[in-house]
Amino acid sequence: MQSTNPYTTDVLDSYETPTDDEVEAAVERAVDRFPAWADRPVQDRCRILDRAGDLLEDRVDEYASLLTREMGKPIEQARAEVEKCAWLCAYYAERAPEQLADEVVGTEADARTLVSYEPIGPVLAVMPWNFPFWQVFRFAVPNLAAGNVGLLKHASNVPGCARAIEDVLHEAGVPEGAFQSLLVGSDTVGGLVEDDRIRGVTLTGSEGAGRAVAEQAGSELKKSVLELGGSDPFVVLDDAPVEATAEKAVTARTQNNGQSCIAAKRFVVHTDVYDEFVGAFEAKLDALTVGDPREESVDVGPLARPDLVDDLHEQVEETVEAGATLALGGEPPDREGAFYPPTLLTDVPRDAPAATEETFGPAAAVFEVESEAEALELANDTSFGLGASVWTADVERGERVAREFEAGLCFVNEYVKSDPRLPFGGVKESGYGRELARQGIREFVNRKTVWVQHGLGEERE
C-alpha cells in the first residue's frame, strides 16, 4: 500500500499489507482485549481519551502536515481538523460518564427499573480519506469511551494517517488490541463484516459501499451505521443579505477542496436576488488562490487522487452538454498535481449530473427559483438527505424552512458542519444512524432493561 502526495505526485511511503493470518490475529486480539477494557470504569477510559486530546494539541503542526501531504488538504484546514479531534476527545472525556449512566425509569412502586448502556464488543469502522483524522476520531472516541474495542479499515490513500491515529491512542494509554488499524484493501471488508466476532460496523463512504455493507450486516443481524453521500442544497431566499451569503457560499462549496459530503453543492436562489448573488459568488470563487496546499495563502489545493479529477470533469462536461452555462472554471489546468479549478455552473437542468449526483470537488451548480415553495421543492428533489441550509434576514422564516428540509442536518444562516455536541447523520440515500453527541455514543451499545423487584423473599419475624 502506497501513500502518494496528490500535489507533487511523489510516493511518500510504502506500507506492508497484513496477511490473512495477521488479520485473523488482530480480530482475536480485539476479542481478547474487550472484556478487560469494558470492565474498566468509564471515568478511567475517559482519562485516557483526554490524554489523547492533549497529544493531538501538542502535535497539531506535525499531524496537519501529514494530512496535507497525504490528501492535499490546505494546511490551515488541516490544523483545524486536528484541533477539532482534540476537542472531540475533551468533549467525551467530560460527557461520556453522564451519557452512559444508568437511566432510571419510574414504573411500579415496589420495583427499581432502569436502562443501562453496555458495550457490545469489537466494532469495525470503514473510513474515508477526505477527513482522515476527524472521521476516525468521531468513531473511535465515543466507542472506546463506551467500552467497545475498534478495528479500523481506513482508506488506502491515507495509511500514514491511519498509523498515526493508532499511535496516538496507544501512547495515550489505550491498550494494545483495543484499537487497531488494519492496512487492508476493500476486498477484506466483507469477510470482517461476516465474522461473528465483529459485533457492529460503521461506514462513511459511497452509496454503493454503504449498500454492500448494509446488506452484509443485515444478513448477519448485526448493527450498522452508515454516513453516505450528500448533495446539500444551499437555499438563498429573497431577503438574504447577498454579499455575506455569497462569502459563506464560497466556504460551503470549496472547503476541503470541495471534497466533503456536507459541502453545499446545489445553490437554490430566489429570482429577486439571483443576478446579484451569482455575480458576487462568481467573483469570490474566481478570487480564490489555487496551489500548493502547504502554503498558508492557498485556499484550494489538489483533489486527493487523479481519478477524482476525471470523475468531476466528466460530471461538469455532461452538465454543460445538458444545457447548463459554464460561468467559471470547468477545465483541469495544465499543471502537475490533481487539480480542478473552482467551477460555477448556472442554468443547470434539473436532470443534469450536477443536479442529481454528488459532485466531489469545487464545482457549484446554481438554480433560479420563483418562490420559497419552489425552493423547498427543489431542495428536497434529491435521493440524498444529509445536510441543507437556508439563508434569510428573517430567522423565524429560516427555521420554518429548515424544518421542511428532508435532511438530517439543517442550518439557518450557517453552512452545514459537524459538532461533537450535536448528532450527525442523514436520511434517504445519505444513510442511517447517528454519530456524535449522546445519540452517537449510544449507537453501539446494548440498551439493557433492568427490573429489580422488591418484596419477594423478605425475611419474616
Cα separation, 125 vs 203, whole angstroms: 6
Question: What pLDDT sits at residue 458?
Answer: 59
In-domain check, residue 459? no
Q: For 73-107, how does the pLDDT look when each residue is reduced to its tens digit (9 = 90+)?
A: 999 999 999 999 999 999 999 999 999 999 999 99
How does pLDDT run across 122-132, given as a tens digit for each residue? 999 999 999 99
Residue matched to cell numbers 481506513 = 154
Residue 437 inside a domain? The answer is no
Side-chain half-sphere CA neighbours of 157 within 13 A: 21
Length of the chain: 461
Shared domain check, 247 and 126: no
> Across the chain, how many H-helices and E-strands are there?
15, 18
Within-domain flag for 460:
no
**CATH number (domain holding residue 166):** 3.40.605.10
**Same domain, residue pair 260 and 213:** no
Q: Are 92 and 142 in contact (CB under 8 A)?
A: yes
pLDDT in tens, 34-70: 999 999 999 999 999 999 999 999 999 999 999 999 9
In a domain, 430, yes or no: no
Domain CATH code at residue 362: 3.40.309.10
DSSP 8-state secondary structure symbol assigned to residue 150: E
pLDDT for position 406: 98
- The answer to whether 142 touches 49, Cβ cutoff 8 Å, is no
Co-location of 141 and 253 in the same domain: no
Q: Which residue has the cell 462568481?
A: 282
The average pLDDT across 294-315 equals 97
Q: Is 456 part of any domain?
A: no
Residue-wise pLDDT for 140-190, tens only, equals: 999 999 999 999 999 999 999 999 999 999 999 999 999 999 999 999 999
Q: Where are the beta strands (DSSP E) in 197-342?
A: 200-204, 223-227, 232-236, 264-270, 325-328
CA pair distance 73, 157, nearest whole angstrom: 13
* Residue 207 · residue 228 · CB < 8 Å: yes
Note whether residue 249 is domain-resident: yes
Q: Cα–Cα distance between 441 and 147 in angstroms, integer?
A: 10
Domain assignment of residue 429, yes or no: no
* 263 shares a domain with 179: no
Domain count, the chain: 2
Residues 219 and 152 in one domain: yes
Model confidence at 456: pLDDT above 90:
no
The answer on 120 and 44 residing in a single domain is: yes
CA angle 455, 459, 461 (to 5 degrees): 125
Domain containing residue 302: 232-412
What burial letters (b/e) apply to 217-249, b meaning 16+ CB within 10 Å? beebebbbbbbbbbbbbbbbbbebebeebbebb
208 shares a domain with 238: no
Query: Diameter of the chain by CA atoms?
Result: 95
Q: Could you tell me if 139 and 240 lie in one domain?
A: no
Alpha helices, DSSP H only, in 322-456?
Answer: 353-356, 372-380, 395-402, 437-441
Q: Are residues 218 and 244 in the same domain?
A: no
- Sequence-distant (6+) residues with CB within 8 A of 215 are none
Q: Does 174 map to a domain?
A: yes
Residues carrying an active site annotation: 227, 261
The span from the CA of 114 to the CA of 95, in Å, is: 20
User: Cβ(447)–Cβ(105) under 8 Å?
Assistant: no
Give me the mean pLDDT over the 184-202 stretch. 97
Are 111 and 215 in the same domain? yes
3-state class of 138 per DSSP?
helix
Q: What percent of the chain has a predicted confidence (pLDDT) above 90?
A: 98
Claim to verify: residue 193 and residue 236 sit in the same structural domain: no
104 and 223 fall within a common domain: yes
Task: Enumerate the β-bridge partners of residue 453.
Answer: 111
What is the structure's pLDDT at 98? 98
